[in-house]
């Protein structure tokens, strides 16, 4: 027998199948990781067995597999197939794709399995008789320690770890060994899984589903293998409960499930809900796990001890056998797109994995990606709507405040009169509020009030951020920091104002507005360590504060019944980006934040949510329609605009960036690349007929929006292609060009990057 092996080296030159003989005495299966001799020097290398075959071309020397790395196969057959697909679809090596499937710690054997020594009363002995033998004639113990240990173990009845025993009987080692020698107790080594520290959350069961929820669950369970469902449900409509019920069905049918949630909402609140329903069969995978914990969670899944995986994007690759369900919650979140190689989109890969394994895929959102909703309308996805909140709770009432007229009428505080008044009332009534801000730090950028001079980073072509705690201006791209100048370097004026606002400033003004207010702040500055996020949330949920101030982190998934007021301090932050998606993103964000308000209306009707959106652009479509909870109209208008201007999903963007210390070099490189890309694209498209070249809609080169970063000048080539059945061929032509391109500062080709900055 022979094994077809990919060597674990992410270099495209060796990214092909090598054939090795399997020695008689080795049991090598498809999916095993093995050690093989590789290259001239026969250096031992790790490799993945992707296939077995009976014969091979023996004209060449065939080397033999040295050994298997694990007794079990690390890769499932469906993961192997998925890796090969990813390599093609996203232009990476098969090795790169395979690495997605394994915890990094497994490779290179960096983490050892943790075994602990346990002992228990030996089987078949008479405990009373044995105990007697530990006593002297006069009834006193021959050895106090031995007797004590024996008593603990017989009382306990189950194996105990030696370290636990040591806690009862200090320095028990010798005594334990003596008892083993006498045959009274026996030792068993066994593997334990390092579970991430978790508090006991108890168990619950499903509430009675609403008719709409039941319909959703039925539609999913009656669907066919590989079907994709778009669960389009307003915030608080009970989508999570639908997932939980669909998972329950998957488990009952002997299968497993994967649930992806955005990293940012991978809060204990979310994961606890799954653990309460499914207990220890839930594995949680997120970036805060230690290397060992991650490895152990992966093995719990691989060995079938965990059947439900809840995690961020990469959990999509978890080794779940008999996968019956994949859920992507908040499917519109940009974090489902990988920014590093391979640059995959979780939803696309999930569609593929579902089709291959026969699992069903559920995409859930109150504000689906335009592309997903379009697919649902076209029938490629099955649309399931949950148009109402649970228990007939009304959607929050949203008011828009025009901050420009607020300023003109003499109010230059952060809070409009409207929001200030509502905040006071909310706190007086003992209710809770969330203030949302789309920014971090104390204020946006330093600006001279007299001449408008903006303080920019000398390394990067961006405005610096003012940080109050040390009175500095800082660049968020490169970390450059300076003390705030006393006078304007341009005009000498001392009126340097800090336009824009940050969470810290909101907190200060709030305390001025309501001196007795108790508030909590949650942003990347206040979150540190493993538990801080949970501490803040727990504390707020427990009612220890009236107001929670935060950035994006407070927007997602929080379900806190006491919250009746949400204030969006400044809605424009995400609006005026030079990005075609900023409208879509703003709509999603505002809808999410607004959805945090009034999730639990009381019997007497009080507690209805109110949202105040402060903005300088009250008539912007994204703001107006989010306030009206009108996704359908937003979708219609936005998708028509995209079609008219041929932006995605009707086209594909590709971008190549050059970063050089010398500006001319960067500019010239981009120009040369643009020429070659044009040639390559035209000839790739020409194959499909004369008109196909028209599908190249745009090809430009020039300075990137952030012209300078970390002292490097940045120039970019931007390509826009109409999305047709020829697009893949065109993209492949670009990739091939990029593979051949090996010049300084070339950052490669990105397809539909998350931003074009």
Q: Which two tokens stand for residue 573?
A: 């932050």
Work out which of 18, 72, 85, 480 binds Zn ion, going by CB under 5 A: 480
In the chain, the largest separation of any two C-alpha atoms, in whole Å, equals: 107
Omega before residue 649 within 30° of 0, cis: yes
Stretch that binds ligand ADP, among 54-62, 74-82, 205-213, 529-537 (CB under 6 A): 205-213
Q: Which is nearer to Zn ion, 480 or 688 (CB)?
A: 480
Q: Does 207 bind ligand ADP (CB under 6 A)?
A: yes
Beta carbons of 229 and 360 less than 8 angstroms apart: yes
Q: Which two tokens stand for residue 425?
A: 């009332």
Shortest Cβ 492–Zn ion spacing (Å) = 7
Shortest Cβ 241–ligand ADP spacing (Å) = 4
Of these partners, Zn ion, ligand ADP, none, which one is at the site of residue 503 (CB under 5 to 8 Å by kind)?
A: none
Helix/strand/coil (H, E, C) string of 317-370?
A: HCCCCCEEEEEEECCCCHHHECCCCCCCEHHHHHHHHHHHHCCEEEEEECCCCH
Q: How many residues bind ligand ADP (CB under 6 A)?
A: 15
Residue (of 526, 515, 572) closest to 549 by Cα position: 526
Q: Which is nearer to ligand ADP, 278 or 498 (CB)?
A: 278
Cβ within 8 Å of residue 377, ≥6 positions away: 383
* Dist CA 345 CA 334 (whole Å): 9
Of these partners, Zn ion, ligand ADP, none, which one is at the site of residue 541 (CB under 5 to 8 Å by kind)?
A: none
Shortest Cβ 187–ligand ADP spacing (Å) = 47
Give DSSP secondary structure letters for 402-414: EHHHHHHTT--SS
Phi, psi of 392 (to 5 degrees): 60, 20
Work out which of 93, 219, 240, 443 binds ligand ADP, going by CB under 6 A: 240
Phi-psi region of 392 (alpha: psi -120 to 50; beta: other; left: phi over 0): left
Q: Does 487 bind Zn ion (CB under 5 A)?
A: no
Enter the DSSP assignment of 458: S
Stretch that binds Zn ion, among 271-279, 359-367, 447-455, 615-623 (CB under 5 A): 447-455
Work out which of 31, 103, 196, 238 binds ligand ADP, going by CB under 6 A: 238
* Dist CA 289 CA 273 (whole Å): 19
Q: Does 597 bind ligand ADP (CB under 6 A)?
A: no
Stretch that binds ligand ADP, among 53-61, 233-241, 282-290, 507-515 (CB under 6 A): 233-241
Q: Kindly identify the residues of this chain, within the stretch 241-270, that bind ligand ADP according to CB under 6 A.
A: 241
Of these partners, Zn ion, ligand ADP, none, which one is at the site of residue 209 (CB under 5 to 8 Å by kind)?
A: ligand ADP
* Dist CA 638 CA 492 (whole Å): 46
Count of alpha carbons within 13 Å of 578, Cβ hemisphere only?
Answer: 5
Work out which of 209, 593, 601, 751 binds ligand ADP, going by CB under 6 A: 209
Of these partners, Zn ion, ligand ADP, none, which one is at the site of residue 46 (CB under 5 to 8 Å by kind)?
A: none
Stretch that binds Zn ion, among 310-318, 430-438, 448-456, 536-544 (CB under 5 A): 448-456
Q: Please return the burial class of 174, using the count of CB atoms within 10 Å of its CB with bins 0-12, 13-18 and 19+.
A: exposed
Cβ within 8 Å of residue 461, ≥6 positions away: 706, 707, 708, 709
From residue 293, how far is each of 191, 299, 302, 371, 572 by CA, in Å?
Answer: 13, 10, 14, 36, 41
Work out which of 68, 93, 237, 504 binds ligand ADP, going by CB under 6 A: 237
Cβ within 8 Å of residue 375, ≥6 positions away: 228, 230, 381
Q: Does 477 bind Zn ion (CB under 5 A)?
A: yes
Beta carbons of 13 and 6 less than 8 angstroms apart: no
Stretch that binds Zn ion, among 18-26, 480-488, 660-668, 691-699 (CB under 5 A): 480-488
* Dist CA 262 CA 198 (whole Å): 20
Phi, psi of 549 (to 5 degrees): -110, 130
Q: Which is nearer to ligand ADP, 210 or 503 (CB)?
A: 210
Of these partners, Zn ion, ligand ADP, none, which one is at the site of residue 559 (CB under 5 to 8 Å by kind)?
A: ligand ADP
Q: Kindly identify the residues of this chain, within the stretch 19-48, that bind ligand ADP according to CB under 6 A.
A: none
Work out which of 239, 585, 620, 714 binds ligand ADP, going by CB under 6 A: 239
Instruction: Provide the mask over 493-512, with x wherever binding to Zn ion is found by CB under 5 A and - wherever it is not.
Output: x-------------------
Q: Which is nearer to ligand ADP, 6 or 555 (CB)?
A: 555
Work out which of 56, 122, 178, 390 binds ligand ADP, going by CB under 6 A: 390
Q: Buried (b) or exposed (e) across 52-82, using 16+ Cβ within 10 A?
A: eeeeeeeeeeeeebbebbeeebbbbebbbbb
Q: Which is nearer to Zn ion, 49 or 660 (CB)?
A: 660
Shortest Cβ 708–Zn ion spacing (Å) = 8
Of these partners, ligand ADP, Zn ion, none, which one is at the site of residue 240 (CB under 5 to 8 Å by kind)?
A: ligand ADP
Instruction: Provide the mask over 130-149, with x wherever binding to Zn ion is found by CB under 5 A and - wherever it is not.
Output: --------------------
Shortest Cβ 636–ligand ADP spacing (Å) = 23
Shortest Cβ 556–ligand ADP spacing (Å) = 10
Q: Which is nearer to ligand ADP, 207 or 452 (CB)?
A: 207
Work out which of 31, 103, 233, 368 binds ligand ADP, going by CB under 6 A: 233
- Contact positions vs ligand ADP (CB under 6 A): 207-210, 213, 233, 235-241, 390, 559
């Amino acid at each position: 027998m022979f094994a077809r092996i990919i060597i674990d080296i992410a270099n495209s030159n060796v990214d092909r199948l090598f054939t090795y003989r399997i020695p008689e005495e080795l049991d090598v299966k498809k999916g095993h990781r093995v050690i093989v001799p590789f290259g001239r020097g026969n250096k031992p290398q790790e490799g993945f067995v992707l296939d077995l075959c009976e014969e091979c071309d023996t004209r060449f020397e065939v080397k033999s597999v040295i050994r298997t790395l694990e007794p079990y196969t690390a890769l499932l057959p469906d993961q192997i197939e998925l890796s090969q697909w990813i390599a093609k679809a996203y232009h990476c090596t098969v090795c790169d794709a395979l690495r997605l499937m394994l915890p990094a710690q497994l490779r290179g054997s960096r983490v050892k399995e943790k075994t602990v020594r346990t002992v228990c009363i030996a089987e078949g002995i008479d405990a009373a008789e044995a105990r007697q033998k530990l006593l002297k004639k006069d009834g006193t113990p021959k050895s106090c320690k031995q007797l004590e240990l024996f008593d603990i173990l017989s009382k306990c009845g189950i194996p105990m770890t030696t370290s636990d025993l040591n806690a009862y009987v200090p320095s028990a080692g010798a005594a334990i060994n003596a008892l083993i020698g006498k045959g009274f107790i026996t030792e068993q080594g066994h593997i334990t899984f390092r579970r991430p520290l978790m508090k006991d959350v108890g168990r619950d069961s499903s509430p009675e589903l609403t008719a709409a929820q039941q319909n959703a669950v039925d539609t999913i369970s009656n669907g066919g293998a590989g079907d994709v469902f778009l669960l389009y449900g307003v915030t608080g409509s009970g989508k999570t409960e639908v997932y939980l019920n669909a998972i329950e069905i998957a488990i009952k049918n002997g299968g497993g499930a994967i649930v992806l949630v955005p990293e940012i909402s991978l809060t204990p609140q979310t994961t606890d809900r799954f653990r309460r329903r499914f207990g220890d069969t839930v594995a949680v995978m997120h970036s805060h796990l230690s290397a060992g914990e991650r490895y152990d969670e992966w093995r719990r899944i691989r060995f079938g001890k965990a059947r439900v995986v809840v995690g961020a994007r990469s959990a999509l690759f978890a080794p779940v056998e008999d996968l019956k369900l994949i859920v992507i919650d908040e499917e519109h979140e940009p974090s489902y797109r990988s920014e590093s190689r391979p640059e995959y989109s979780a939803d696309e890969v999930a569609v593929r994995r579902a089709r291959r394994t026969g699992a069903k895929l559920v995409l859930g959102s109150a504000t689906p990606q335009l592309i997903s909703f379009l697919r649902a309308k076209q029938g490629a996805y099955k649309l399931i709507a949950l148009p109402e909140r649970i228990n007939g709770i009304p959607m929050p009432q949203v008011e828009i405040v025009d901050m420009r007229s607020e300023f003109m009428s003499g109010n230059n505080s952060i809070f409009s009169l409207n929001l200030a008044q509502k905040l006071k009332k909310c706190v007086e009534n003992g209710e809770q509020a969330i203030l949302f801000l789309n920014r971090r730090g104390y204020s946006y950028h330093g600006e001279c009030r007299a001449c408008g001079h903006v303080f920019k980073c000398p390394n990067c072509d961006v405005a610096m951020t003012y940080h109050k705690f040390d009175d500095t201006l800082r660049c968020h791209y490169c970390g450059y920091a300076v003390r705030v100048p006393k006078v304007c370097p341009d005009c000498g004026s001392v009126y340097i104002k800090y336009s824009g606002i940050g969470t810290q400033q909101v907190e200060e003004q709030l305390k001025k507005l309501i001196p007795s207010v108790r508030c909590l702040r949650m942003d990347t500055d206040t979150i540190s360590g493993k538990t801080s996020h949970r501490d803040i949330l727990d504390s707020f949920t427990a009612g220890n504060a009236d107001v929670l101030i935060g950035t994006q982190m407070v927007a997602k998934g929080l379900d806190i019944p006491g919250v009746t007021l949400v204030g969006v301090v400044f809605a424009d932050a995400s609006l005026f980006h030079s990005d075609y998606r900023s409208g879509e993103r703003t709509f999603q964000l505002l809808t999410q934040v607004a959805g945090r308000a009034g999730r639990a209306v009381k019997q007497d009707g009080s507690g209805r949510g109110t949202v105040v959106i402060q903005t300088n652009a009250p008539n912007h479509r994204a703001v107006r329609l989010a306030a009206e909870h009108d996704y359908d109209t937003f979708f219609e208008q936005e998708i028509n605009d995209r079609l008219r201007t041929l932006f995605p999903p009707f086209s594909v963007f590709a971008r190549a960036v050059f970063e050089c210390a010398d500006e001319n070099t960067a500019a010239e490189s981009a120009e040369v690349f643009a020429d070659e890309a044009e040639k390559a694209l035209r000839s790739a498209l020409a194959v499909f007929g004369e008109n196909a070249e028209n599908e190249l809609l745009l090809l430009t080169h020039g300075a990137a929006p952030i012209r300078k970063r970390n002292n490097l000048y940045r120039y970019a080539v931007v390509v826009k292609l109409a999305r047709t059945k020829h697009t893949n061929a065109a993209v492949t032509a670009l990739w091939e060009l990029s593979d051949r391109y090996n010049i300084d500062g070339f950052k490669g080709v990105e397809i539909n990057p998350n931003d074009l900055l």
